[in-house]
Structures are given as structure tokens and as C-alpha cells.
Structure 1
Amino acid sequence: MVEHWLAQARSGQWPIAQLLDCASRLQAAGALEAAALLYQTWVSSTESPVRHVALFNWGAVLGELRRPKDAEAVYRMALAVAPNFAQARLNLGHQLEHQGREAEALAEWATVYEDENPVSLGAEPLTLRLHGMNNAARLLEQQKRYVESEALMRRSLTLEPRQSDVAQHYVHIRQKQCAWPVYDTFGEVTHNFLLMSTSLLGMLDESDDPVLQLLTAQRYVLERLPKVTAAPLHKGRKREGRIRIGYLSGDLHMHAVGLLTAELYGLHDRSRFEVHAFSWSRDDGSPLRARIKGSIDHYHPLHGVPDRQAAEMIAEAGIDVLVDLQGLTNGARAAILTHRPAPIQVSYLGLPGTSAIPGVDWILADRFVMPPESLPYYTEKPIYLPHCYQVSDRQREASVPPTRAQAGLPEEGFVFCAFNNNHKMSEPVWRCWMRVLRQVPGSVLWLLADNPFAQANLTRVAAEEGIAPERLVFAPRALPADYLARFAVADLFLDTFPYNAGTTASDCLWMGTPILTRSGKTYISRMAGSLLTAVGLPDLITTSLDEYEQRAVQIGNQPARAASYKRYLREHGRSSPLFDVPGIVRDMENEFERLALDARQKA
């Protein structure tokens, strides 16, 4: 049949409608190379006033085949025939982006969205302009050109206010810039619409209301995840011998999850457990990634593997307990879990809250992060660990601490630090920190220089509170060992709220620096409190902003008190239950074994 179609295409007389129909049938059958050849043959043999349509479709097939250079060439041929063909220009932008030619991609998209009436084939001009704006905004956000990106999002939402995806990015890009209020309304874009469009990560930054976090997770699940009605994939599969634990993640590299779990995998008792990883993590070439892969019995790469097929791989491997390390965070593949490839599916670490993913029935926790009154707001049941929910890495190494001068700090005065990512900072807490600085003469606040827009906004609000810019010391990002060394120079870490420090809190306490936290009503706002409880410093947990401010001022004006906390952590911190990582792993294993054996008996 294909040979017959190719002969027709070579004839130069084949109507384009038949070409499009036959090529579409080949695409539907997965025969992309054949479809591309069919278009190529027709284009090289036929002169037609609609030749640019065939070229456009050929370019789309080449794009699907991940041949961006070839696709670029074909789209340029289409534009040579029809210079105002907006769809071809938009797709050309995508192929340029795939080749890393981002400035050229932005220029192609701008050509479309700056034209108030772009020429189209069967598409509304507004739709094409929005496509160009939204993709340019996305790419600018990736480049950390936040102000330009936000401006394009505002233009897009002004033209079409009901774009939830754009509103979601608009909210989060304002969080990244510490642009307050985050829910800045304009035109027909209402506060309610921005709230209902907020991503789960954005909601964790913005609200300590467990109901809002649950509803945000459920909305994502309802809108984005497939509805699976088939029988669970784990059904009917015999499981025996050692219990098989599978870790599901795309973050097994230089990432907060990779850093926290680096020691976990190798500590599993191989006489009782077999450890698998199902991962689409990028190979960043780091020693951390090599260490993680080397400590796993069976590493299954899932790059390019469809979700259903990945779930079948997990089921075929006979996994008893599947531990999802991502939830609904960036790059997650939650759809794998909806097929229920393992009888026990557990949420852990990556999403410190409920995911509402169907099939995830359990979440690893402790009684501090998930007190009884919080349980109605989780779709998962807790697996309670006796001391602390969080594993960490006892092999992390720090450089020699810098001097205050090397760190850009004054020689005298109390040093507060807050090395959390800027998107975790909220206006009430930031203004609280500025009040603390006012009440602790000579003190400074040492921060992470995440991006210049956040730095400018934070400095501006500080000035509104009467704090001179030199009392804010912004530190650039550093290699892990150098970053860890900084903690030794600070006197007290000030935690963010409602998104507490997680990995950063572990690093801080490991290095012997005390943390002052405010604990709230949600898992994520109680993380640092859990760590402080396990390390033996519960008096650094506060439950209101006023109490938090008072405690920070008290400690800042009593440097000996901060030194006492440091001495305690130096003498007892690393021997506390918080850093008894083998003990935490044994506790996890005992719970996993209990659940897995129960599931085997019921199978």
C-alpha cells in the first residue's frame, strides 16, 4: 500500500486531500518515517498552490520524529512559499528551541504575536498570538528573565483571561520574584481565578490551609490524570521471596530528593529486601548520581517509556512496595501510579503534603508532621515513623568554613540566615524578619541570591521597614560542600512559612546551626518542627508569627543563647534520632514488610 501511495505521490497529479488522508493513516499506525517520505515525495514531484500545507505537515512529522534540523529546513521551505504562514512560524520556533537556539525561537514567536491579525489556516488569529506569547513567556521564565516573562503573561491574560495554565505560571513567577501581593489582579483576571489556577507547589508557598492544598491536588488529578478503570496491574501476580521495594522518581541526581536519599538505598537490609529504582532522572554526571545508582540493585530507566508501559514494567518486576518520591512536583509522572502496578504505593519526601493521586494509599510521616487533626485532609493514610519522617545523608561533606569577611559579612553583629529558595518567602514573614533586624542592633540577614528581581523586591520592602540595604547580605549559589560550610558562620537560621525548610533544615542542623521555625497546620509547615523535635530542640518551634518574632529577637539579643544551641548540636546533634539514618531505614522496612506480607496473604 505504501509503495502504491509513493507512486501516486511521484506522479505529480495526486490531489493534496488524498495525500493528507494517507499520511494521516500512516501516522496513526505509528509509521512516521513512511509518512515523512510520502510528504517528501509529493513535495518534490508536485507544483501546487497549497504546497505550503504539505510542507507544514511534513515538518510536523519530522518534529514528532525528533529531527529538529530537518523540521526547521522544511518549515523554512513552507515560509518561502507563504511568508505570512503563522502556524509554520510558530512550529519553526519550537524546532529552533529544540536545537538550543532560543533567541531565534523567541524572535519567530514574537513575529506572530506582535501581528494583530496573523495569517492562518483554519485557526483564529487570537489563538495563534496566544500560542506565540505563551511559549515565549515559558521560555523566558526558563531563562530566568522573569520580568519579561511576566509581562507577556499579563498581555496574554488581558487578551484571554480564562487561561488557567497561564494564570498558574503568572502566580508562581511572582512568587519567584517575591513580587507581593502574589495575587495581583488586572483586567478581568480576578483573585478567585488566580487562586483556583494556583499549582500545588504554588499553594504550598502561599497557604497553610490544608483544605486549599487538598482541593488543589484534587483539581490537578481530575484535570490532568487519566481515568483508569481497568483492574490494577499488580492483580494476579505471584510475589514471593525477598520483599521488593521500588523507588519512582525523576530526581535521583543533584536535587533535594537525591541529596536527602543518597544513603537510604544502600542501607536496606538485602537479606530481606531487593531494591529497584524506576527513574527518568537526568544524568548530570555528578558523583551523587553515580553513588545513588551504585547503591540500587536494579535501576530501570524510564526515559521515553509511556506511562502505561512503565507501570507494566513495575508490575512485571513484582514490586511489593512502590515509593513515589515526586507526587505532583515538577516533572512527576503520577499517571504511572494510577495503574496501580504495586499492591502498596507510598508517597514520600518529594511532595510534603497530600497528592490525591488514585492508587497512592499511604504516606510516610511522623506524628509531628501529621497530627491526628490533620488526617481528614489527606487522601493517604499515614505510615508513622517513631522519631522523624526524614532520612538524610551522613556522608555529606563540608568545606572549611569561610571567614566572615570572605562571606561578605560584617566582623561584628548577630548573623541571621535564611538560605531557602526565594519563592518560599512570604510578605508577612519577610516584614517580620525586618522587624527582628530593627530590634537586634547591628544584626544582618544572610540570604540566597536566587535572582536579581527577588533581590530588588526584597531590598525595596526592607527599605519600607526602615532596614538599610547593607544589612541584607546576598550569597550566590555555591557547590554543595561550600554551601554547607556557610552554616557554620551563621548564628541562627530563620525558617520560612508556610513552606518550611526541608533539605535545607537537615543541612543546617547537620552543620550545627540552630533553626527557628513556625509550625502550622500542614505537613509542609511542620517539617522543620519535626526535625527540631527529633534533634532535641523543641523550644525553637513557635506556633504564631508574634511568638516567632519575639523568640528571634530574644535569641538575637542574647548571642550566648545561640552559642548554647550550637554547642548542644555540636555535642549531641549528630547522635540524635534525627541523624540515626540506619534506625530510620529499619523503621521504614518494618512497616513496609508488615504491609507487603499482609498484601501477599490477601492476594
Structure 2
Amino acid sequence: MNAPTTALAADTSVDAAAPLDAFQVIAAGDRLCATQGPQQAAALYQQWLAGSTSPMRHVVQFNLGVLYGQLQLHAQAEAAYRAAITSKPDFAQAWFNLGATVERLGRKEHALTIWQSMLDHPLVTPTHQKDLYLLVVNGMGRLLEEMRQYDRSEVKLFASLLAEPQQPKVIQHWVHLRQKQCSWPVFTPVPGLGQGEVLKATSPLAMLSASDDPGLQLATSIRFITEKVNLRVPRLAPEKGYQHDKLRIGFLSSDFCLHAVSLLTVELLELLDRDRFEVYGFCWSREDGSALRARVVKSFDHYVRIADLDDASAARAIREAEIDVVVDLQGITSGARPDIIAHRPAPVQITYLGFPGPTGHPCIDYVVADRFLIPDAERPFYTETPLYLPHVFQCSDRQRPVAPLPSRAQCGLPEEGFVFCSFNNNYKFTEAVFASWMRMLQAVPGSVLWLLADNPWSQASLTRRAGEHGVDPARLLFAPRVSPEQYLARYTAADLFLDAYPFNAGTTANDALWMGLPVLTRSGRTFASRMAGSLLTALDLPELITTSLADYEARAIEIATQPALHADLKQRLKAGRTQSPLFDMPRFVQDFGDAVERVAIRG
């Protein structure tokens, strides 16, 4: 969606009788590039341009820009494209590449301005240079999404789909943008596209929120792997394993930083028994300078940064370390590198935490689970074999720092009245669950709903929807994003956490329960819809697990209107913090280690 257009061999907009010296130099440049490299070809173009007044200069200048881009000389590429445009102001391909180049130079707003000017003049339209038009609107949509300007991004991608509906990648981003903005129904009609085609193109992550059908989630993941992952690569690890005195576990992730995965796993990494295991971290995480990242990196016996390695080289690094068991903490979420796993760099490969659903990856052997999370009846909807832990699938961190506890007033909450909250990412919200929340507010006078201020478009959509349900929008309160310590502390100002469905809270539910806030969930058939129920089962709080929207709604109203029931739940949750398996990390680490040893292959 954002690659510059390639070098030109000819310009069909010029007269065939134009001088051919430009074409000759381009042909010579192509030969030089193939035999001696782009530097030599660029030198040839520069020499020719210095002495030529050909009306075809713009083509050579464009090709020079492409060569500079290949050489990562983006400032020189920008100058070459601008020269091409000066020579031929309506040279649409040069305008597009100029936008892509200034984006690479970090001037994102400038790139958007350049591309928008191509639409305004117009140099490209859905019927004139359609392929380039799609590159422009898709590039703008991608960049606007990266800049979190979701509304503008959605408009551009929808324009792209109107011009050419059969674009699965564009559909994928468009659907998730609508989820992020709580634009319901998410699957709104697109001319030329059936709902089945839109569903088929939906990403695995978006599907976790879009459907509670385990078969559909599995099919989506398998399609993703089939389209994205090269499975025709040689196996690296020996099938019979190794003969190490201590089992070598390699954790694989881009999230060894201030991220939910690290917030959960850091104490597991620290407490793994070094008499039994040697622990490796293979990382392509951002260097965010956080205390959490420093703590995670310190927890490894061997820390290997693979950010600068391609997938094949990263897989070889794992093989060369003779890792017995790879634990992939990424799955098929954003930033994943599933091609590493496709090389089979370890004899046993496990997925854990990163993606709460079936990965569809044939090279993943096991998924860490518990009996509540993946009951026997749902095992057919997983390509992985469940690796069952005896108590709970999710690890925790007992050392997570907490800021001083705020008052309700400091949180912007009313002093009186019941406070429902849901700090899930807004893309997990669905129209049906939100309608249920509105009925709860109507049934509990003086209550409010405290939500995460995820983005201004979801906030506007939710407040508008509240009014449509007959609820004063002022009863929806939005909490800004804050540091993890402050985020944890403010849970103590709420009364009941309302879980999302079908994509439950994961780390968020763990945090709320750790801080003593009861979590009310609805459990379905999918992994994502059973996460919070797993945690509540470990806490022996089955009253907080419902299996239908009607029961979910009735239970919330019951808890909010019966102070004795609410107090009892909070007291039992407080006891569970010290007595339940959920937060007993030494026991969890023992269970996890036993499970890994159970499936490891020793030569």
C-alpha cells in the first residue's frame, strides 16, 4: 500500500518521435545496475542529466530517484523526484514517489499533503490511472491509521473499496478501523462486496471481536497463515531433539517492553527454575527505556536481539542456540514474524498469550491452556494441541508497581452512585454488549459507566449511542491513558468491571482482579471469550461467570443493587489474592515448567 512506483522504461504520454537518447541511457543504466550495482547506474544518469536538454529528462530523473531510494539516499531521491516534477508537472508517478520518500524522511503530514494534491488537481481518479489512484488512497489510509487519525483513514480506504472492491488487505484494515471507532454495524454494506467477502478478508485479531464462532475464527487464522507464511522451507531443528542437562527454553516476542505480554510474563521469566531450565529471550522489541523492559531483559540467561535479522537468519540463530522448546509470545498479532516458526528452529514449538485464539500455524505444536479455557468439546477448533496447566493458563506479576490510590473526585467520578467500568480497548466493544450496558445504567439509578478514552471517534460514537438508548451521555465517563502504576491504582475507585464479549479482557482482567475489583464476564465457546472466566474459576468466583447476554445483564444489576452481595464478592476476591492459584506465582511457575518438560523432546 505504500511502495514507490518502480523505474520507468518508457513514458507513454510523450510522442513516439521524441529523441531516443533518454531511452538509451535508461537501458544502459539498467545494465549497469544489474552488473555493477545502483551506484554506477546513478552516476551514469547524473552525467547524462548534466549535459542533456532532452524533453525526456523527467523519465531519467524519475529513475534516478528510484535508484537513490534503493540506496537509502532518501534526501537525494526527494531532489530527483522534485526535478522530474519541475520538468513535467503532471508526472503523477513522480508525485506519488515523492510522497513515499518524504514519508521515509519522517515528514508524514507533508506526504499526506502531496498525495492529497494528486487527488485535488486531479492527477489520478478512480477512472484515470486507476492503479496509481489506488496506491495514493491506500497509502494515505495506511499512514493516517498509523497516525491514529482513524476517521480520515476510514474515508480513504472506503474510497479505495468503491473504486476496486476486491482488495482483501484494504478490507482488513477498513474493518478494524470501524471496530476501533465503534462504528456499528462494523460490517456495513460496500457496493460490489458481499458480507461473506468482507468476513473472509477480516484479520484474525479483528475476528476475535467480530464473531463468537470458533469455526470462523479458525478459518480466518488458517487463511492468514496460508496467505502470509512461507511454509515451504527446510526444517532446522533435529526431530529427535538434543541432549542438554538443562532444558533450553527460548521465548520469542516483539513485546519485551512496556506491553501487556511483558506485564504478565516478567515474574514467570524471573522464577523459572535455573536448575531445570536455561532461559533465552529472542527479541525484536522497541527500545522504550522502560523499567519493565530492563527487568524483562535482566530475567533472561541469554538475551538475543533479532530485530536486524531476517526471518530465516533469526530462525538459524534459534537453531544455533540449540533451543529445546520455543515459546512464541507473539502468535499472529501485530508485529508477528510467523515465518520464523515456519523454519522449525526448535523441536517443540508452543504459542502462549500473544494471540488468544487458534493460530492456524501448522508448525505450532501446543497452546498453553487450562480446562476452562479450552474444554474438550472445543479442541477440534484448534490446530494446536492444548498444553493444559492444572489450575490456570495465565501467569501474573505480584511485583507490579501501584501509584497512591486516588479518590473518586481525583478520577473525575461522582462521590455517590455505583461505578461500572470497562477499560478494554474500545475495538472489543460490540453493539449488543453496549446496549446491555445502557440497560444496566437505566436499571441502576445514579450509576455511571467509566470507559477508556481510547480515541475521540469511539468516544463520540459511544456518547451518541447512549443518547439513542435514552441514557444521559453525561453518565459515560472517559478515563485518559496514564502510566501503568496510575492505571492500576484507579481500579480501586470503581465497583464492578464489565467484561467485553466475545473478546474478553486478558491482562486488563488480571489487573482489575489483582486490585480487588470484581470482574463480571460472559463466557462463550472461543478462547478469547473464555479468558476472564478462566481467571474467575481459579479464584473460585463462579457467580461472576455468565453464559448469555441476559444473564450477564441481570447479574450486573443484581450486584449493583445488592450491597451485601457486592461486599461479599469483594471480600472473597481479596482473600483470593493470597490464597488462589491465580496469583500464586511459585505454583504457576512449577506447573508451567512441568508442562514444558512433559512435551519436550530429549535426544
| Bin for the TM-score computed over the shorter chain | over 0.9
User: 1:363–1:380: 8 Å Cα contact kept in structure 2?
Assistant: yes
2:599 match: 595
Choose from 472, 486, 491 the match for 2:490: 486
Specify the code of the residue in structure 1 equivalent to 2:186: V
2:17 match: none
1:263-412 alignment, distance < 5 Å: 263-412=267-416
Distance 1:305 1:435, change over 3 A: same
Distance 1:541 1:118, change over 3 A: closer
User: 1:368–1:526: 8 Å Cα contact kept in structure 2?
Assistant: yes
Shift of 1:59: 2.2
Specify the code of the residue in structure 2 equivalent to 1:66: Q
Matches of 2:71 and 2:539, distance apart in 1: 53
Specify the code of the residue in structure 1 equivalent to 2:384: E
User: 1:414–1:559: 8 Å Cα contact kept in structure 2?
Assistant: no
Distance 1:233 1:72, change over 3 A: farther
1:132-147 alignment, distance < 5 Å: 132-147=136-151
2:6 match: none
1:560-579 alignment, distance < 5 Å: 560-579=564-583
1:548 match: 552
1:449-475 deviation line (CA, Å, top 9, x unaligned): 111111111111111111101211111
Choose from 62, 76, 83 the match for 1:77: 83
2:24 match: 15
1:58 maps onto 2:51 in alignment: no
Specify the code of the residue in structure 2 equivalent to 1:91: N
1:243-299 deviation line (CA, Å, top 9, x unaligned): 111111111111111211121211111122111111110001111111111111111
Specify the code of the residue in structure 2 equivalent to 1:15: Q
Shift of 1:42: 4.7
3-state DSSP of counterpart to 2:530: helix
Q: Which moved more, 1:36-45 or 1:527-536?
A: 36-45
Matches of 1:574 and 1:48, distance apart in 2: 81
1:67 match: 73
User: 2:538–2:581: 8 Å Cα contact kept in structure 1?
Assistant: yes
Matches of 1:14 and 1:555, distance apart in 2: 78
Choose from 211, 222, 231 the match for 1:218: 222
1:25 match: 34
3-state DSSP of counterpart to 1:406: helix
User: 1:208–1:498: 8 Å Cα contact kept in structure 2?
Assistant: yes
Matches of 1:233 and 1:22, distance apart in 2: 41
Matches of 1:277 and 1:36, distance apart in 2: 42
Matches of 2:250 and 2:550, distance apart in 1: 44
Matches of 2:349 and 2:298, distance apart in 1: 24
Distance 1:39 1:340, change over 3 A: farther
Shift of 1:13: 9.5
Specify the code of the residue in structure 1 equivalent to 2:337: R
Distance 1:568 1:33, change over 3 A: farther
3-state DSSP of counterpart to 1:525: coil
Shift of 1:542: 0.3
1:455-534 alignment, distance < 5 Å: 455-534=459-538
Distance 1:278 1:40, change over 3 A: farther
> How many residue pairs align between the two structures?
582
Shift of 1:36: 4.4
Distance 1:371 1:35, change over 3 A: farther
Distance 1:433 1:25, change over 3 A: same
Shift of 1:62: 2.7
Q: Could you state the TM-score of these two structures normalised by the residue count of structure 1?
A: 0.93
Shift of 1:359: 0.8
1:242 match: 246
Matches of 1:52 and 1:276, distance apart in 2: 53
Tell me, which stretches of 5 or more residues in structure 2 are unaligned? 1-20
3-state DSSP of counterpart to 2:415: coil
1:132-161 deviation line (CA, Å, top 9, x unaligned): 101111111122222211111111111111
Matches of 1:238 and 1:81, distance apart in 2: 65
3-state DSSP of counterpart to 1:524: coil
Specify the code of the residue in structure 2 equivalent to 1:99: L
Matches of 1:228 and 1:39, distance apart in 2: 40
Choose from 585, 588, 593 the match for 1:584: 588
3-state DSSP of counterpart to 1:335: helix
1:222-256 deviation line (CA, Å, top 9, x unaligned): 11111314344445875423211111111111111
Matches of 2:570 and 2:295, distance apart in 1: 31
Shift of 1:186: 3.0
1:99 match: 105
3-state DSSP of counterpart to 1:488: helix
Specify the code of the residue in structure 2 equivalent to 1:423: Y
3-state DSSP of counterpart to 2:602: helix
Shift of 1:48: 4.0
User: 2:100–2:111: 8 Å Cα contact kept in structure 1?
Assistant: yes
1:436 match: 440
Specify the code of the residue in structure 1 equivalent to 2:98: L
Shift of 1:554: 0.3
Q: Which moved more, 1:422-431 or 1:183-192?
A: 183-192
1:406-421 alignment, distance < 5 Å: 406-421=410-425
Matches of 1:592 and 1:520, distance apart in 2: 28
Matches of 2:143 and 2:265, distance apart in 1: 31
1:188 maps onto 2:188 in alignment: no
Matches of 1:343 and 1:42, distance apart in 2: 57
Matches of 2:281 and 2:51, distance apart in 1: 51
Shift of 1:401: 1.7
Shift of 1:484: 0.4
Shift of 1:54: 3.1
User: 1:56–1:75: 8 Å Cα contact kept in structure 2?
Assistant: yes
Shift of 1:337: 0.6
Q: Which moved more, 1:436-445 or 1:263-272?
A: 263-272
User: 2:236–2:316: 8 Å Cα contact kept in structure 1?
Assistant: no
Shift of 1:53: 2.8
Distance 1:289 1:46, change over 3 A: farther
Specify the code of the residue in structure 1 equivalent to 2:438: M
Matches of 1:66 and 1:261, distance apart in 2: 38
Q: Which moved more, 1:532-541 or 1:40-49?
A: 40-49
1:287-344 deviation line (CA, Å, top 9, x unaligned): 1111111111111112231111111111111011011111110110001111111010
Matches of 1:309 and 1:57, distance apart in 2: 32
1:5 match: none
User: 2:373–2:531: 8 Å Cα contact kept in structure 1?
Assistant: yes
Q: Could you state the TM-score of these two structures normalised by the residue count of structure 2?
A: 0.93
1:89 match: 95
Matches of 1:365 and 1:35, distance apart in 2: 57
Task: Name the Cα RMSD after superposition.
Answer: 2.0
3-state DSSP of counterpart to 1:251: coil
Tell me, which stretches of 5 or more residues in structure 1 are unaligned? 1-11
Matches of 2:413 and 2:90, distance apart in 1: 57
User: 1:506–1:531: 8 Å Cα contact kept in structure 2?
Assistant: yes
Specify the code of the residue in structure 2 equivalent to 1:600: R
User: 1:19–1:39: 8 Å Cα contact kept in structure 2?
Assistant: no
Matches of 1:352 and 1:323, distance apart in 2: 14
3-state DSSP of counterpart to 2:411: coil
